[in-house]
Amino acid sequence: MIELIDKNGFVFAFLLVGLIMFISFQVSKRVLFGRIPGVAVAILIGLALATLGGKKGISDIPLFAGMAFLGGSMLRDFTVVATAMGADLSKIKSAGLAGVIALVAGVFVSFFLGVLVAWALGYRDAVELTTIGAGACTYIVGPVTGTALGASTDIIAISVAIGLVKTVVTTIATPLIAQKIGLTNANSALVFGGLLGTSSGVTAGLAATDPKLVPYGALTATFYTGLGCLLCPSVFYLVLQTFF
């Protein structure tokens, strides 16, 4: 069995990730009753498994060497691009000016709040501040930005963790505050997705609030990820580099 896996490490990596995703969604559905999305559970499991290896995480163990390629930057960035390509730019017009403002404001506020927290915790390097700030946007924008700027794996891991916390909080808090903030129609869902941007958190939170709102929130949340991947390692980094 071990010899077979050694010869087919990449295929085994797909199998392993498939099992992790299956277990994660079962735990989310049957144990957590949908309060925390399966994606968030999977990320927690992934972070835990990463501690089992060395510098390259679990892929340092020969049996799981295929994870080095499957979890590498190329396939990760390909996934981000594929997700963004699934959205029709013309549909963003349905959100109107409010949706556009929500997108820009959402990325800007999340990023600089993350930067302020990182600065308060003692980080002063522009690359580190940018990566952590990007993680505050989403757990996808963080590693994409960190890789583009050459951040260390520790900083990238922190950015993922910040994005994960945001996802979990969004999932749990959305149904609790929906009525209070007027999150009851398609237009408000479009703005909501643009402000928070964490696709899995917004989707799960809206599903628990009103399933009819999910497509609208998911639409702007997808654009949020793409916009964050564009702005964080470029414009926002140059701004921080000026001061740090």
Q: What is the pLDDT of residues 92-113, one digit of tens each?
A: 566 678 778 888 999 999 999 9
Token reading at 201: 């958190």
- Rounded Cα–Cα distance for residues 135 and 128 (Å): 11
10 Å CB burial of residue 235 (0-12, 13-18, 19+) is exposed
pLDDT in tens, the chain (244 residues): 888 888 898 899 999 999 999 999 999 889 988 777 787 788 788 878 888 877 778 888 888 888 888 877 777 667 666 655 555 556 556 667 877 888 899 999 999 999 999 999 999 999 999 999 999 999 889 999 999 999 998 999 999 999 989 988 898 888 888 889 999 888 888 899 999 988 888 888 888 788 888 888 888 888 898 899 999 999 999 999 998 8
- The confidence score (pLDDT) of residue 68 equals 86
pTM equals 0.72
> Distance between CA atoms of 165 and 160, rounded to whole angstroms?
9
Token digits of residue 133: 């700030």
Judge contact between 166 and 135, C-beta under 8 A.
no
Alpha-carbon gap, residue 224 to 106, rounded angstroms: 8
Give the Cα separation of 212 and 135 in Å (integer): 29
- Structure tokens of 67? 């994870």
